[in-house]
């Protein structure tokens, strides 16, 4: 049994709680001061430096501190462990270490939210386009004209986003951030559960989660800082591929949402057909019809205009654009950089190679569906979507979460050691992390496509490992 906290522990928890609540209260006062022009100036003139931050910088930090304060004053077990670790076994120390990492990330996320609000105040961002387009839809206007064509998602997204457009843009941004954090944690949970057959012990699973934080955290932070939808799309794709124990309607609705929001994730129909998940496909078809009809809630004319504008702005115009910029790390962008000035030829090569890649991934999924490599074949599909989609920019590479996690899980399975896999994993992560932080290496590489080349290496390694051929050896059956 856990011992009751002593007097020192109670005092520490009360101190932590009061500090947290005061932090939240001061932040709230400062937000009020920013609106009224009085309280914020008074607090800023008190000589305390952090109180002179703009309200959008201190509010998320204050909310996080207030939340921690409430936990502490409520004497929750989690807060008690923070202030009085006591004598714990290794598992407890690992839990505390993981909690510490999450707290640090939470602080960084709060900083990123402040950055997002600064962007909202100073210039246009993706989130601001979402907010403006949703307001335009609510008023029966053309959502694409309202943003001068800078919003190019299908109109379904704005119907779903509309409730947030009723809030002030700063508040809506904060709600959007926390929604994405929740689904990001669920994506981590699903990935760990999906690959648990390679993670023998709780210690290995804990190390695996730390590894995923390192491998893909750079892409989460980029998405959180600018209010994009990439975390949402990645979560939906992972939900569809890992929904083994979920009712068919969950993965079906998830597939419909992903396809309705970004179109290209509709390629997940291929593995679902090959797996004979008929109920999931039926739910997906029904949900897709409902979602596509949703923009007509404001009237058939408004809905049809929205879809016509999307086809013009989001499909025709986008496909006609040149995608040779270095930050475009899709197969289409690679072909255009490799064949400068020959756009039609580049498009033809892209279409041919995309069909070949989808066909290869489909064949692998069918071939390994009853063997130990089936999970690895499924883990490839988010990467296939990234490669095939013409709009895969650097920020979209959060989609490597599942393929990278599959590689990491294989390397952490002590009975499946492979130097080839290790070399590919290290090289890929050098490309995704080092070149992610330093754009110089992206712009001075083979056809300026380090991200894409690294992803293709990972997909090739997963495919060969799933088949158990060549240097990768025979694959053992799942436990």
Q: Map out the domains of the chain as residue ranges.
A: 1-87, 90-320, 323-479
CA angle 211, 216, 220 (to 5 degrees): 130
Q: Which are the contacts of 405, defined by CB distance < 8 A and separation ≥ 6?
A: 191, 195, 208, 212, 215, 216, 379
Question: How far is CA 361 from its chain centroid?
Answer: 23
Provide the b/e sequence for 268-306 (b: ≥16 CB within 10 Å): bbbbbebbebeebbebbeebbeebbebbbebeeebbebb
CA torsion sign for 450, 456, 458, 464 is negative
Task: Give the tokens for residue 146.
Answer: 């309202």
Retrieve residue 145's tokens: 């004209």
| Residue with tokens 């856990």, as numbered in its chain | 2
Which residue from 392, 399, 400, 395 is spatially nearest to 458, judged by alpha carbons?
A: 400
Q: What is the pLDDT along the chain (479 residues), one digit of tens a residue?
A: 344 445 555 665 565 566 556 555 555 554 544 433 333 333 333 333 344 445 445 555 556 656 666 666 565 665 555 555 455 555 565 555 555 555 555 555 555 555 555 555 555 677 878 888 888 888 888 787 887 777 778 888 888 989 988 887 777 877 887 788 788 888 988 998 899 888 877 778 777 877 887 777 777 777 776 778 899 999 999 999 998 778 999 999 999 999 999 889 999 999 999 999 999 999 999 999 999 998 888 778 877 888 888 888 777 777 777 788 888 889 999 998 888 888 889 999 999 999 999 999 999 999 988 777 889 999 999 999 999 999 888 888 889 999 999 999 998 886 666 788 888 888 888 778 654 444 444 454 545 788 898 899 999 999 998 887 544 554 444 43
Distances from the Cα of 408 to the Cα of 31, 75, 429, 474, angstroms: 44, 37, 11, 18
Q: Which residues contact 222 (CB under 8 A, 6 or more apart)?
A: 228, 394, 395, 398
Contact 402, 226 (CB under 8 A): no
Find the radius of gyration of the CA atoms of the chain: 24
The SS3 call for residue 148 is coil
Angle at 300 between CA 294 and CA 304, to 5 degrees: 80
Only one residue has tokens 């699973």, namely 205
Say if residues 83 and 72 touch (Cβ distance below 8 Å): yes
pTM (predicted TM-score): 0.76
User: Using CA atoms, how far apart are residues 334 and 325, in angstroms rounded to an integer?
Assistant: 9
Q: Which of 364, 359, 363 is nearest to 374 (CA)?
A: 364
Contacts 24+ apart (CB under 8 A), 413-416: 413/198, 413/199, 413/200, 414/200, 415/476, 416/198, 416/476
């Amino acid at each position: 049994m856990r011992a009751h906290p002593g007097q020192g522990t109670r005092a520490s928890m009360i101190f932590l709680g009061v500090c947290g609540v005061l932090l939240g209260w001061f932040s709230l006062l400062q937000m009020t001061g920013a609106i009224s022009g009085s309280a914020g100036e008074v607090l800023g003139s008190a000589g305390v430096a952090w109180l002179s931050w703009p309200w959008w910088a201190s509010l998320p930090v204050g909310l996080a501190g207030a939340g921690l304060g409430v936990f502490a004053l409520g004497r929750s077990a989690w807060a008690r462990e923070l202030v009085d670790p006591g004598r714990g076994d290794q598992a407890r120390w690992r839990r505390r270490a993981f909690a510490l990492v999450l707290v640090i990330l939470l602080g960084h996320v709060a900083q990123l939210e402040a950055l997002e609000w600064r962007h909202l105040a100073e210039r246009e961002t993706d989130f601001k386009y979402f907010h403006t387009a949703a307001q335009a839809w609510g008023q029966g206007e053309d959502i694409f004209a309202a943003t001068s064509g800078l919003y190019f998602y299908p109109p379904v997204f704005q119907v779903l986003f509309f409730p947030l457009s009723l809030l002030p843009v700063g508040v809506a941004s904060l709600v959007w951030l926390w929604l994405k954090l929740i689904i990001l944690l669920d994506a981590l949970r699903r990935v760990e559960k999906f690959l648990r057959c390679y993670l023998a012990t709780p210690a290995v699973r804990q190390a695996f989660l730390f590894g995923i934080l390192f491998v893909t955290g750079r892409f989460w932070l980029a998405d959180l800082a600018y209010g994009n939808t990439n975390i949402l799309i990645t979560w939906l794709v992972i939900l569809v591929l890992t929904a083994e124990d979920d009712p068919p309607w969950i993965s079906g609705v998830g597939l419909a949402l992903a396809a309705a929001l970004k179109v290209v994730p509709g390629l997940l129909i291929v593995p679902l057909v090959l797996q004979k998940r008929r109920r999931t496909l039926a739910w997906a078809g029904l949900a897709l019809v409902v979602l596509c009809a949703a923009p007509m809630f404001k009237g058939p004319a408004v809905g049809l205009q929205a879809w016509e504008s999307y086809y013009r702005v989001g499909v025709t115009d986008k496909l006609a654009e040149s995608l040779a910029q270095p930050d475009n790390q899709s197969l289409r962008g690679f072909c255009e950089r490799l064949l400068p000035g020959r756009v039609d030829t580049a498009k033809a090569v892209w279409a041919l190679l995309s069909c070949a890649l989808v066909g290869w991934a489909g064949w692998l999924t069918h071939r390994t569906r009853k063997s130990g490599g089936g999970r690895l074949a499924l883990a490839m599909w988010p990467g296939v979507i990234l490669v095939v989609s013409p709009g895969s920019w650097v920020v979209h590479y959060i989609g490597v979460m599942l393929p990278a996690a599959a590689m990491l899980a294989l390397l952490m399975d002590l009975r499946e050691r492979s130097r080839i896999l290790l070399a590919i994993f290290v090289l890929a992560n050098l490309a995704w992390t080092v070149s992610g932080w330093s754009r110089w290496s992206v712009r001075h590489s083979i056809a300026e496509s380090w991200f894409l080349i690294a992803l293709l290496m990972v997909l090739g390694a997963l495919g060969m490992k799933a088949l158990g051929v060549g240097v990768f050896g025979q694959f053992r059956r799942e436990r």
